[in-house]
């Protein structure tokens, strides 16, 4: 309950009721079905602060979120968050009461609480209206990303 941190952690982020915004959760749910119990899959966190609490210093973490930067829908981004800065405008923006992934990573770094590795994937979305369907190009990208992460986990 409190500190059950596994060594490999996959975190999907987003709102499943806002169409493409749920793509991170779509990927994490798919990975849960396709990976064994050794891998901890977190389907959504309450906020960026809670993200920091999902890992410890020995964890290998993969975070998947929807990106909204007006690029071509379905574009996949990958960042090694321990080595490179995540460009602003990709994931941050709309939450005023809490913090984004970008801020959470910065805060974890400030507190000396970064995991051993931290890979952040983004999939560019297109449609954020209410609903539970991914746009075709976003769904194709999500399937590709699931395969790619499975490959990385092998």
Partner 1 sequence: MKSKTIKVDYLARVEGEGGLEVKIKDNEVTDAKLNIFEPPRFFEGFLRGRKFTEAPDITARICGICPVAYQMSSSHAMESACGVSVKGQLRQLRRLLYCGEWIESHVLHIYMLHAPDFLGYQDAIQLAKDYPDVVNRALKLKKLGNDIVALIGGREIHPINPRVGGFYKVPGKEELDKFVEPLKWGIEASLETIKLTATFPFPDFEQDYEFVSLRHADEYPLNEGRIVSSKGIDIEAKDFLDYFEEEHVQHSTSLQAKVKARGHYLVGPMARYNLNFDKLPEIARQAAIEAGIGEECRNPFKSIIVRATETLFACHEALQIVENYDMPNRPYVEIEPRQATAHWCTEAPRGLLYHRYSIDDNGIIKDARIIPPTSQNQKAVEDDLRHLVGKNLDLSDEDLTWKCEQAVRNYDPCISCSCHFLKLNIKRE
75 neighbors 141 (Cβ within 8 angstroms): yes
**Cβ distance to partner 1 smaller for residue 19 or 124:** 19
**Terminal Cα distance for the chain, rounded:** 27
Q: Which of residues 24-83 bind partner 1 (CB under 8 A)?
A: 46, 49-50, 52-53
Q: Where are the alpha helices (DSSP H) in 17-124?
A: 23-34, 48-52, 101-110
**Cβ distance to partner 1 smaller for residue 114 or 141:** 114
Closest contact distance (angstroms) between CB of 107 and partner 1 is 5
Question: ∠ at Cα 7 (14, 149), nearest 5°?
Answer: 50
Closest contact distance (angstroms) between CB of 103 and partner 1 is 6
Which of left, alpha, beta for 65 (phi over 0: left; psi -120 to 50: alpha)? beta
Binding-residue total with partner 1 (CB under 8 A):
18
6 neighbors 61 (Cβ within 8 angstroms): no
Q: Does the protein bind partner 1 through residue 130 (CB under 8 A)?
A: no
Closest contact distance (angstroms) between CB of 60 and partner 1 is 21
Binding residues (CB under 8 A) for partner 1: these are 1-2, 46, 49-50, 52-53, 96-99, 103, 106-107, 110-113
């Amino acid at each position: 309950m409190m500190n059950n941190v596994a060594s490999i952690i996959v975190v999907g982020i987003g709102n499943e009721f806002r169409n493409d915004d749920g793509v991170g959760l779509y990927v994490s749910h798919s990975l849960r079905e396709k990976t064994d119990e050794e891998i901890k899959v977190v389907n959504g966190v309450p906020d960026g602060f809670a993200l920091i609490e999902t890992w410890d210093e020995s964890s290998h973490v993969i975070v998947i979120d929807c990106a909204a930067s007006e690029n071509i829908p379905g574009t996949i981004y990958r960042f090694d968050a321990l080595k490179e800065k995540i460009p602003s405008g990709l994931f941050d923006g709309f939450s005023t009461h809490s913090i984004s992934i970008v801020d959470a990573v910065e805060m974890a770094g400030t507190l000396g609480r970064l995991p051993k590795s931290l890979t952040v994937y983004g999939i560019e979305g297109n449609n954020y209206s209410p609903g539970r369907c991914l746009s075709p190009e976003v769904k194709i990208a999500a399937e590709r990303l699931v395969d790619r992460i499975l490959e990385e986990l092998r």
